[in-house]
Amino acid sequence: MTQLTEPPRSAPRTFLEFPFAPDLDALEADIAILGIPFGMPYVPSDLGNEQSRAPDALRGASAHVDYTRNSYDFDLGGPLLNGRDIRVVDCGNVVADMGDPAAQYSNAEAALRKIFKAGATPICIGGDHGIPIPIFRALEGMETGITLVQVDAHIDWRDDVNGERHGFSSPIRRASEMGWIDKIVQVGIRSFGSARPQEVEVARAYGADIITAYEVHEAGIASVLERIPEGPIYLTVDADGLDPTIMPGVMAQAPGGLTWVQMRALIHGVIGKGRLLGMDIVEMAPARDVGGITMVHAERMICNFIGASVRAGYYD
């Protein structure tokens, strides 16, 4: 058996001290945390970027594990797992080969396919926004007509940068080429960044529903949810999609992003629209954080995903 993951190096060693489950061939879990630290670099010096530290930094940021897991959570209306025997595990970080950057994508896809085969819902921690590409590939055969919901300041439709087609500016372009992904809804878009006019044209020609942050602020999350079809959904969250006042630890800060209240409502709302196949949170840069608030909000996102999916009856 090829070892696809390795233990996290943080303290606590796993996310919220859930059990470490490295044997994906014998995985028994309802929810599986997976770190994917390294994206495909545009230049060699980008391989070990600041975002690659985020999976272990997030695991190590939890100061109140017992409270988080067992206290009454007013975001959810009760304890995290709602008194249920829900099996949450941490599978560690995808094994990388620093001499072969593409190997981590292959390992990540293989790991996700095993997680899906075991019937578990993956929650992936990046890493830059290139790392959802192998996750999207692993969705093949899970469902047809999957809706991809992206929270981001940028649309990420670049075909390539420096000849690299699988980096952090291209995940949604690559997703659009996968036959099992249908509707693409992009929420929180604003400012400037990866999109040149030609990428916007390609995205609109595909039928991507580009919802700016200003539309969200003016019309509310309820109007966003009306534009997301019912059915299978995958959620990818770039930390810079939220406002830098609450998630400052990112590489590309842009004023005007989603608030925490909006993000929480979006997570609970998409879970109410249909089966949420999984989620990722990417592009966190620990060295740029302020007072740990980026990690606080990332942990809260994951906890709301877990708690809302438990209450939606996903694991009955």
pLDDT at residue 190, as a whole number: 97
Query: Which of 88-102, 108-122, 216-230, 237-251 shows the lowest per-residue confidence on average (mean pLDDT)?
Result: 88-102
pLDDT digits (tens, 9 = 90+) for 157-207: 999 999 999 999 999 999 999 999 999 999 999 998 668 999 999 999 999
* 47: in domain: yes
Answer whether residue 54 is part of any domain: yes
Residue 7: its pLDDT value, please?
A: 86
- At residue 16, the pLDDT reads 97
Residues 51-89, buried b or exposed e (16+ Cβ, 10 A)? bbbbbbbbbbbbeeeeebbeeebeebeebbbeeeebbbb
Please state the domain count of the chain: 1
Tell me whether residue 20 is in a domain.
Answer: yes
- Among the listed ranges 7-16, 274-283, 302-311, which one has the minimum average pLDDT value? 7-16
Top-confidence residue, 98 or 236: 236
Predicted pLDDT of residue 1: 61
The answer to whether residue 67 is domain-embedded is: yes
Q: What pLDDT does 12 receive?
A: 65
pLDDT of residue 11: 64
Residue 29, helix vs strand vs coil: coil
pLDDT at 98: 84
User: Mean per-residue pLDDT for 83-98?
Assistant: 95
Whether 316 maps to a domain, the answer reads no
List the CATH number of the domain containing 256: 3.40.800.10
93 inside domain: yes
Residue 263's nearest CA partner among 149, 162, 154, 161 is 149
- pLDDT of residue 10 exceeding 80, the answer is no
Tell me if 281 is assigned to some domain: yes
Q: At what angle do helices 260-273 and 293-311 cross, to 10 degrees?
A: 30
- Are residues 75 and 22 in contact, defined by beta-carbon separation less than 8 angstroms? no
pLDDT digits 0-9 by tens, 244-283: 999 999 999 999 999 999 999 999 999 999 899 999 999 9
**Does residue 264 sit within a domain?**
yes
Sheet (strand 146-151) strand order: 5-6, 88-94, 31-36, 121-126, 276-282, 233-238, 146-151, 181-189, 209-212
Q: What is the pTM of this model?
A: 0.95
Quote the domain boundaries for residue 237.
5-311
